[in-house]
Amino acid sequence: MPTQTRSDQRRARTRAALIAAAQKLLAERRTNVPVLEITRLADVGLGSFYNHFTDKDELFETAVDEALERFGSILDLLSDHEDPAVVFGQSLRLTVRLCRREPALTRVLLHRGLEITVADRGLVPRARRDIDAGIAAGRFRNTDSRIAVSIVGGGALSLAALLDADPSLDADAAADDFAINILCMLGLSDSDAVEICRMNLPDVDDLLVRTESA
């Protein structure tokens, strides 16, 4: 890979600052702001904005895409278990836990709503990959993985909204209960689903640190 010049590094920092500012505004549900406020929040010049984005809509769309990929990159660190049902069960349980651990990023995703269930980045392609692997291995019933992902995504968004609205809700218990129900929907027995959702998960904080340092 070619070495980045100082100019490249400066441009990358500016772009990252603008995206972080947009994600903050999305999390606060403040998208009806002028570009000048965004650049002030990012601590960059107004002219720098248009070196990276044509308008606010493009910036906010990029901010959501980056949040999706952030969640997806964390799931990529899960162990490559030989049983695809275990891999998908871990992904479900971890995703819901991340909603509580990363509330600002979760609100960014909630802003996009059901559109993220058909996104080509982040969680959706990874979920389809894992469901297809489960079908191929005979662990999940033979079904259209697009429909399965639509059901899973809609349920996950609803649960994320509930966790955001009710901080007292036990996210770990909710995550495991959600995963059990989804695994059963895909064809596992109750006992198999419960056993998978009792398995140890990687430490969420450790996964977050690893993705930040990657």
Query: What HEC string does 10-74 produce?
Result: HHHHHHHHHHHHHHHHHHCCCCCCCHHHHHHHHCCCHHHHCCCCCCHHHHHHHHHHHHHHHHHHH
* pLDDT at residue 214, rounded to an integer: 54
Count of domains observed in the chain = 2
What angle, rounded to 10 degrees, do the helices at 56-75 and 123-136 form?
Answer: 40
Cα 70 to Cα 105: distance, rounded to the nearest angstrom: 9
Structure tokens at 211: 């993705």
Range 75-97 burial, b when 16+ CB lie within 10 A, else e: beebeeeeebbbbbbbbbbbbbb
In-domain check, residue 46: yes
Do the beta carbons of residue 150 and residue 117 sit within 8 Å? yes
* Predicted confidence (pLDDT) per residue in 140-157, tens digit: 999 999 999 999 999 999
Could you give the CA distance from residue 186 to residue 29 in angstroms, rounded to a whole number?
Answer: 35
**pLDDT score of 212:** 67
Same structural domain, 133 and 42: no
Q: Which domain holds residue 45?
A: 6-53
Q: Do residues 68 and 178 make contact, with C-beta atoms less than 8 angstroms apart?
A: no
Q: Are residues 40 and 72 in the same domain?
A: no
Question: Is 58 inside any structural domain?
Answer: no
Residues of the chain short of pLDDT 50, as ranges, are none
Question: Does residue 47 sit in the same domain as residue 102?
Answer: no
Is this structure's pTM higher than 0.75?
A: yes
Are 21 and 121 within one domain?
A: no
Q: What share of the chain is helix, strand, coil (3-state, %, to 5)?
A: 70, 0, 30
Assign residue 203 the CATH number of its domain: 1.10.357.10
Per-residue model confidence as pLDDT tens digits over 4-34: 687 778 888 999 999 999 988 988 888 889 9
